[in-house]
Amino acid sequence: MTSSPTLETRSFSVNGRAVTVHVPEDTTLLSALRHDLDLKGTRVGCTEGYCGACTVLVDGRPVQSCNTPLWSVDGKTITTVEGLARGDVLGPVQEAFLLEQAAQCGYCTNGIIMTVTGLLSQNPPATKHEIVEVLDERHICRCGAQTRILKAIDRAIATIGGAAR
């Protein structure tokens, strides 16, 4: 007979809501978001920290949730793609990606939107050059939507601020 794993209690905030989950010690943030909290907007890609599809914001900073242990976000503030819109009004980066049709299959899109949102929300906001460097390092788009993604970043910078260089 196998014994069930010991569960640990983790409390944090997701999209403005305080949550508590009871999970095995090795649970990742990605797993808790998708399976315990039913927030499926955060994608499962490589699960090894290469593709960026699973990116969310932790205290405003873009983080790959697949290799972030849940214990490390205890007490912190998480934002997922579901938390960017206000009712029917999309967040400005979401809106920019929509208007530029900056997706093909869309699998990479949510993670990229979270990274761009985080970088443009910091003070001072990231420049386009800084954003592109981070995307190059931490995100993969296999569909070749990069040109439209760059246009969406320009549009988001024009709306939110940041330097278009």
| Amino acid (one-letter) located at 114 | M
Buried/exposed code over 57-75 (b: 16+ C-beta within 10 A; e: otherwise): bbeeebbbbbebebeebee
Nearer to ligand FES by Cβ, of 44 and 160: the residue is 44
Residue 141 within binding range of ligand FES, rule CB under 6 A: yes
Count of CB atoms situated within 10 Å of the CB of 18: 8
Asked whether the beta carbons of 116 and 79 are under 8 A apart, the reply is no
Q: How far apart are CA 120 and CA 125, in angstroms?
A: 4
Report CA-CA distances (Å) from 128 to 41, 93, 97: 25, 13, 15
Nearer to ligand FES by Cβ, of 32 and 66: the residue is 66
Q: Judged by CB under 6 A, which of 142, 147, 163, 164 binds ligand FES?
A: 142
Residue 118 within binding range of ligand FES, rule CB under 6 A: no
Nearest approach in angstroms of CB 45 to ligand FES is: 4
| Interaction residues for ligand FES, span 54-83 (CB under 6 A) | 54, 64, 66
Nearer to ligand FES by Cβ, of 51 and 81: the residue is 51
Q: Judged by CB under 6 A, which of 7, 85, 89, 105 binds ligand FES?
A: 105
Q: With CB under 6 A as the contact rule, which of the stretches 6-14, 15-23, 43-51, 124-132 interacts with ligand FES?
A: 43-51
